[in-house]
Amino acid sequence: MPHNDFRHSLAQQLRVDSVRASDAGGSGHPTSSMSAADLMAVLLDGYLKLDYAHPDNPANDHLVFSKGHASPLYYAMLKAVGAVGDDELLSFRSFGSRLEGHPTPRIPPTDVATGSLGQGLPVGVGLALAGKRLDGLPYRVWVLCGDSEMAEGSIWEAFQHAGWAGLDNLTAIIDVNRLGQTRETMLGWDVDGYVARCEAFGWKAIPVDGHDLDDIDAALSQAVSVTDRPSVIIARTCKGRGVAAVENQPGKHGKPLEDPAGAVSELGGNHSVSVQVKTPAPGTPRRFATVGGSLPRWEIGEEIATRQAYGEALTELGGLRGDVVVLDGEVSNSTMSALFAKAHPERYFEMFIAEQQMVAAAVGLQARGWVPFVSTFGAFLTRAHDFIRMAAVSRADLRLCGSHAGVSIGEDGPSQMALEDVSMFRSIHGSTVLHPSDANQTAALVAEMATLPGISYVRTLRGRTPVRTSPEENIRVGGSRVLFNSDDDDLTIVACGITVGEAEKAAEVLDAEGVRARVIDCYSIKPIDRPTLVDAAAQTRAVLTVEDHWLEGGLGDAVLDALAECADRPPVRKLAVTEMPVSGKPGELLHAAHIDAEAIVEAARQLVKA
Amino acid sequence: MPHNDFRHSLAQQLRVDSVRASDAGGSGHPTSSMSAADLMAVLLDGYLKLDYAHPDNPANDHLVFSKGHASPLYYAMLKAVGAVGDDELLSFRSFGSRLEGHPTPRIPPTDVATGSLGQGLPVGVGLALAGKRLDGLPYRVWVLCGDSEMAEGSIWEAFQHAGWAGLDNLTAIIDVNRLGQTRETMLGWDVDGYVARCEAFGWKAIPVDGHDLDDIDAALSQAVSVTDRPSVIIARTCKGRGVAAVENQPGKHGKPLEDPAGAVSELGGNHSVSVQVKTPAPGTPRRFATVGGSLPRWEIGEEIATRQAYGEALTELGGLRGDVVVLDGEVSNSTMSALFAKAHPERYFEMFIAEQQMVAAAVGLQARGWVPFVSTFGAFLTRAHDFIRMAAVSRADLRLCGSHAGVSIGEDGPSQMALEDVSMFRSIHGSTVLHPSDANQTAALVAEMATLPGISYVRTLRGRTPVRTSPEENIRVGGSRVLFNSDDDDLTIVACGITVGEAEKAAEVLDAEGVRARVIDCYSIKPIDRPTLVDAAAQTRAVLTVEDHWLEGGLGDAVLDALAECADRPPVRKLAVTEMPVSGKPGELLHAAHIDAEAIVEAARQLVKA
C-alpha cells in the first residue's frame, strides 16, 4: 500500500472512531477531532517516537492534547496504536471508564489533564525544559492546540518563554479549523496572522494545508529539523472534515453526529487500522548528584523572616536531593528562592512575570519525575488558580510558596497582599496548606513538602519574626504547637504566621488580668491538628481564631471545620481582615484590621465575660 | 521658554518628586518612575485631555498606570496638574494617605487599582470598548505599561482583543527600561522584538527614544492620528534616568535612593512646575433606551435549567435597564447569555476564550458607569481570580455568572466542573455569592444583582431542575427558603443548587422512617441567612450541609461560620465532594460523591442516632 494510502486510511479510521466514541458516549466533540485527524495520522506514522507499550520509558516523546475536547481523536489514536481496545474506546465518557470527557493521566501515557484551554502548550514548555535542561534526553514534545485557545494569554506566555529559551525540542501543531463553540474565531482562517504572531515570538512557523498528507509530512519533517528555536505547524483545516453534514458548518460543536452510521459509511467504513509508532532510542535521564547539606537551624529568639528561612531551607534541600528544582516569577529576591538559584543555578528556572506559565512548567517538570518548588508573592498565585486546579486533576505533585502574606507586608498596599491564598489552596483537591510562624518551622515543613504527594503550599511572611520553635521540636504536616496552656485555661486562641506573636502578647496581657489563654500556633492549616483543637475546645470556654487573611476560607473556617461535629463546643469567634487594607506600617495595618494583640485582648475579654 | 525647555523642566520635576515621595515614604519605586518621566511630561503637556478639576467629566481621557509600581511618578503628575499638594505627595505610603503604594481609586481620577502587573492594559481595553461601542465619545485611553509585564499573558489577550476590535482610541506606552526586579527582562532593549510582536497583533507600533522629547512628541502625534487600530509607543528608556548612581544600574529596583538630596540636586533641584493639561470638548455619553420588559416567571413544577433562567432574566433585564451590558467567554450558548446577545447585540461583548481580558474589560466598562454581567463556566472563572481580586481593590461593581457547577454536569469531567468557585468568591472582599436552585430564584437574584455594589456572583446549573419557588415569593440576597419544617424537627439539612432536590428526596425518605428533617434552600451563601440557620440549629439535634463543591470554602463552611458564635449548637456535618470526580451521568456522579439523597439519608440517620 503506498504510504499516503495507509495514512489516509488511518486518518479516516481516526475520524470513524471519533464519531463512534462520541456516539457511544452520547456527547463529545467529534467535529473538533475530525479536523486534526490527518495531522495526527502523519504524526503517528513516521514522527512520534513513543513506546506505547512502555509509557514510562523515559526516552519517550510526549504528546499533549492542549485542545483536550478533541479527546475522541486522542482515544482513537490510542486504539490505533494498540493501547486501548475497541470496547474501551466505546466506553468513552461512561462512569468508570479511563476515557473521560477530557484526557487525564488515568489513561497512560497521558502526562497531564487538559480541558481547560490554553494549558497544554505551557505544560509542554515545562516538559521541553525538562528535556533540554534537566534530563538531557532528545525526546520531542508535541502539542496539539486548537485555534480558539490561541486567545488565551497563557498560550502567549508559552510562546514567549519557549522562544526565549530556544526550545527546539518543542513542536506545536495548531488545528486552525476556524470555528469555535458559537462562532468564527478571532482570526478565522487567517493563517498568515498566526504565522506573524508566532514568528514574532521567536518560533519557526510552518503553514500547511492540514488535510494534505504530503504537505503535513513536509511540515513535520521541517519541524524536527529546526534548531535553536521551537517550531509550530499552522494547519488550515475544516472542522468536521470528511462528513458533509458537519464539515465546516457552524452549530456542530460539541455534540455527536446526527447520523453516525451514515458518517462512518461516508468516511469509508469502520476498519481495523493499526499503526506501528516508532520507539525512541534508549536513554536515561540525567540526575544531579546529592552534594549533601543539612537543614538550617536557628536559635530561639533570633529574628528572621520565614521567607528567608524558605530560601535557606530550599537551598540546603537542593544539596540533599538532586531532584529538587525551583521556579520563580522574577521576584526571587523577595521570595528568597534567589538563594537556591545562586547555589544550584542549573536547577533554577527564571519564569519571569508569567505565573500561569510558571505553574504549568512545574507541572511539566514533575511529570518527568522532578520535584519542583514554585514561588512568587502569594497574591500573584491567584493568577495561576486555574492551572493549580488543573494540576490537581493531573494528579501532579507540586510545591508552591507564596510570600508576602497579608496586611503585615505594610506599605506596598492591597495589590501585593495575599489575603485569599489560604482559601484558594484549601479548596484545591488533595492539597496541603502550611503557614509557619518562624524560621525553624519553615525549614522543617519545606523539607517535608519535598516528600508530599499532591499540591502543597507554604505561606511565608515578609517581615521578621522571632524564632520560638526549637530546631529539635517535632514540626510536621498536620501538627500544631501549643505556646501556653494549663489545666484551667479560660479560652483558646488559635493563630498562625504573623498573628502568633500578637496572640502571645495578648495572652500575656490577659494573664495579668487573670484570664488564662491557651495559645495554639496552627502552622498546618490543612490537614489541621484536629485532636489538639477539639481538646482545647472541650477544655476552655471560648475559641478565638486570628489570622492575617480575609474572614472567609482561611484559618478560622478551618478551625470551625475541625470542630464541626463537636456538639458541646464553646463559641468560636474569628478575627480576620474584613475591610480593604491600605498602605501603612505593618503594625498600623494589623491594628487597623483588628488582628493585633489589642484586638485579641478585647475579643477575649468579651468572650470570657459572655 | 521654548517648549522643550518646559517639558524638560516638567520631566525633571516629576523625577524629583518621585525621588522625594519615595524618600518620604521610606519605600517605593523611584527608578521605575524616572524612566517614564519624559514620556509622561510630553503626554501631560500637549496630548492628554483630562479635566483634573472635574474627574467625573465623562469626556475625559483615561490614563491607566499598568505599571502601578511607578506610583511615585503618577502622584508627581497629580501634583504637577494641581490635583494634590506637596504635603500630600510626601504622605506617600503612609497610613491614611490617599497615595498608596500602588494607585487605587481612592485618589481621583484613578479609574482602577493597579499593582498586579499585566492588568492595566486589559482594563484599558474595557475603557476603550466603552468609548467606541457604548458611550460614543471621542475620549482616548492611555496606558503606561512596564516592560516586565509584557511577559504576562493577559497583556497579549489585550493586544489580541484590541487589535481585533480596532480600538484606535487606545494608546499603550511601553516603558522599555530593560531592567526588571532581579535581572534583565526577556527582551531587554530589543525594541524591534516588541515592534514585531505588537504589529503581529494588529497594532500600530511606534518605536521611540523615550528620553528624546521631540521623538516622543512625534510619536504621540502619530499615535493619535492612527485610525482603525490601536497604537503602541515602544520607548527605549533608562531605569533611574537622570541620576548617575542608579541610572541603568541593576539592583536598584523598588527602593528609595541612597542620596535623595544629591539626586534632587543632580536633577536640577526642586522647583514648582505646574502644567496646564488640555480639557476635553464637552460630551455626553450615549445611554440606551429602556425598552421595557418583565422578569420571566415559571410555574411550579416546570423543569428548567438555572442557566437558561439566567439567560432569560438577563435578556429581560436588558430591556428594563439601558445600562446593563453582557460579556461572555465564547460559551454563550452554554451560559445562555446568548439570549441577551440576540436581543441586545449592541450591548453584548464577545470576549472569546480569554477570561482575564473578559473580567478586565468588565472592570473598565463599570468604571464608565455601565452595569456589566460576565459569564463563562464557573470553573474557568478561576482563570481570572487575580483580576477579580484586583477588581475588589478597584472598588468595582461587577456581576459574574459561573455556569456548569459541580459534578452534576456529568460527562465532560472534572476539567469543566466548578468545584472551587464558591470558595473563591466568598473570599473576595465585599462579595455576594448566590446559588439558586430553580428558575424563579435565579430571575429574582439576577435582577437584584444589577443593583448590588461590589462583586456579586451567581452560580448556575447545567441540568434542569424543577421550579419549586413561586414567582411571588420574596427571594432576596441574604435570604433562604425553608422547604419543610415543623415544631419538632429532628435535624436540619442545608442545601443549595442541585442538592436541594436531593435533600428534598432524602427528607421524604426520612419522614417515612419517622425522622423529621427541616430542609433549607440556602440560595444566598454570602450574605447567608444567619437567623434562619441559628434558629434551625437551636431547634434541631443536628445540622447537615450538602453541596456540589469541594469540602472547603463552600456552603458548609459558610453555615459553620454563621453558627460560629452559637455556644449550644448541635453537631454539624458537611457533605461535599472529597474525591476527584470522573466522567459519568449526573446521577452517577452525585452518588459517587456521596452528595445524593441516599448519602444524605445515611448521614442523617447517623446524626440523629448519635
Q: Which pLDDT tens digit goes with each residue over A128-149? A: 999 999 999 999 999 999 999 9
Mind telling me the catalytic residues of A? 355
**How are beta strands A303-305 and A464-466 bridged, if at all?**
antiparallel
Best to test chain B binding among A198, A335, A420, A544 (most B CBs inside 10 Å): A420
Written in H, E and C, the secondary structure of A306-342 is HHHHHHHHHHHHHHHCCCEEEEECCCHHHHCCHHHHH
The pLDDT value given to residue B2:
56
Cα–Cα distance for residue pair B496/B214, rounded to 1 Å = 63
B326-436+455-462 shares the fold of B3-266: yes
Cα–Cα distance for residue pair B214/B221, rounded to 1 Å = 10
| Percentage of residues of chain A with pLDDT beyond 70 | 100
The pLDDT value given to residue B1:
46
Q: Is A128 in CB contact (< 8 Å) with chain B?
A: no
SS3 A175: strand
B553-596: pLDDT as tens digits:
999 999 999 999 998 899 999 999 999 999 999 999 999 999 99
Contacts 24+ apart (CB under 8 A), A258-265: A260/A19, A260/A20, A260/A22, A260/A23, A263/A16, A263/A19, A264/A16, A264/A19, A264/A20
How many CB atoms lie under 10 A from the CB of residue B559? 29
Of A185, A196, A564, the CB nearest to B200: A196
How many CB atoms lie under 10 A from the CB of residue A210? 27
Across A105-126, average pLDDT: 98
- Distance in Å, alpha carbon of B271 to nearest chain A alpha carbon: 27
Give residues 143 to 202 of B whose Cβ lies within 8 Å of A: 148-149, 151-157, 160-161, 164, 180-183, 185-186, 193, 196-197, 199-201
Cα–Cα distance for residue pair A332/B98, rounded to 1 Å = 30
B236-280: pLDDT as tens digits:
999 999 999 999 999 999 999 999 999 999 999 999 999 999 999
Best to test chain B binding among A412, A422, A428, A548 (most B CBs inside 10 Å): A412
| Percentage of residues of chain A with pLDDT beyond 90 | 98
Class of domain A326-436+455-462: alpha beta
Q: H or E element: which one contains B222?
A: helix B213-225
Q: Is B606 in CB contact (< 8 Å) with chain A?
A: no
Query: Residue A52 pLDDT > 70, yes or no?
Result: yes
Of B332, B430, B585, the CB nearest to A95: B585
| Topology (CATH level 3) of domain B481-609 | Rossmann fold (3.40.50)
**Which chain A residues touch B22 with a CB distance below 8 Å?**
none
Burial class (CB in 10 A: 0-12, 13-18, 19+), A278: middle
C-alpha dihedral (A336, A338, A344, A350), degrees to nearest 10 = 120
Cα–Cα distance for residue pair B263/A228, rounded to 1 Å = 44
The pLDDT value given to residue A1:
46
**Which chain B residues touch A415 with a CB distance below 8 Å?**
68, 101-102, 113-116, 390, 393
Interface confidence: ipTM more than 0.90: yes
**Which chain B residues touch A390 with a CB distance below 8 Å?**
415
- Distance in Å, alpha carbon of A455 to nearest chain B alpha carbon: 13
Set of cell numbers at residue A365: 517538570
Per-residue confidence at A439, pLDDT binned at 50, 70, 90? very high
Set of cell numbers at residue A261: 452510521
Q: Which of B9, B533, B492 is nearest to B273 (CA)?
A: B9
Written in H, E and C, the secondary structure of B11-50 is HHHHHHHHHHHHHHHCCCCHHHHHCCHHHHHHHHHHHCEC
Please tell me which residue of chain A has the smallest CA distance to B418.
A389
Give residues 497 to 536 of B whose Cβ lies within 8 Å of A: 526
How is domain A3-266 classified at the architecture level of CATH? Answer: 3-Layer(aba) Sandwich (3.40)
| Percentage of residues of chain B with pLDDT beyond 70 | 100
Number of H helices, E strands in chain A: 23, 19
Query: Residue A452 pLDDT > 90, yes or no?
Result: yes
Of A393, A553, A573, the CB nearest to B553: A553
Contact flag A382-B386 (C-beta cutoff 8 Å): yes
The pLDDT value given to residue A3:
81
Cα–Cα distance for residue pair A364/A355, rounded to 1 Å = 14
Please tell me which residue of chain B has the smallest CA distance to A122.
B153
Q: Which of A400, A397, A470, A472 is nearest to A435 (CA)?
A: A400
Cα–Cα distance for residue pair B576/B354, rounded to 1 Å = 30
Please tell me which residue of chain B has the smallest CA distance to A576.
B427
Half-sphere exposure of B104 (CA within 13 A, CB side): 25
Cα–Cα distance for residue pair B602/B322, rounded to 1 Å = 50
Domain boundaries, chain B: 3-266, 326-436+455-462, 481-609
User: What single letter denotes the amino acid at residue A305?
Assistant: A
**Which chain B residues touch A568 with a CB distance below 8 Å?**
568
DSSP letter at A36?
T
Q: Is A379 in CB contact (< 8 Å) with chain B?
A: yes
The pLDDT value given to residue A609:
87
Q: Is A429 in CB contact (< 8 Å) with chain B?
A: yes
Q: Is A345 in CB contact (< 8 Å) with chain B?
A: no
The pLDDT value given to residue B609:
87
Contact flag B115-A389 (C-beta cutoff 8 Å): no
| CA dihedral sign of residues B264, B62, B96, B254 | negative
Across A182-204, average pLDDT: 98
Across B518-529, average pLDDT: 98
Q: Is A27 in CB contact (< 8 Å) with chain B?
A: yes
The mean of the pLDDT values for chain B is 97
Catalytic residue among B266, B355, B420, B547: B355
Best to test chain A binding among B190, B194, B383, B417 (most A CBs inside 10 Å): B383
Tally C-beta pairs within 8 A across A and B: 347
DSSP letter at A481?
E
Contact flag B153-A151 (C-beta cutoff 8 Å): no
Are the beta carbons of A404 and A365 closer than 8 angstroms? no
User: Quick check: is B247 catalytic?
Assistant: no
The pLDDT value given to residue B594:
98
Are the beta carbons of B234 and B174 closer than 8 angstroms? yes
A481-498: pLDDT as tens digits:
999 999 999 999 999 999
Across A416-431, average pLDDT: 98
B295-351: pLDDT as tens digits:
999 999 999 999 999 999 999 999 999 999 999 999 999 999 999 999 999 999 999
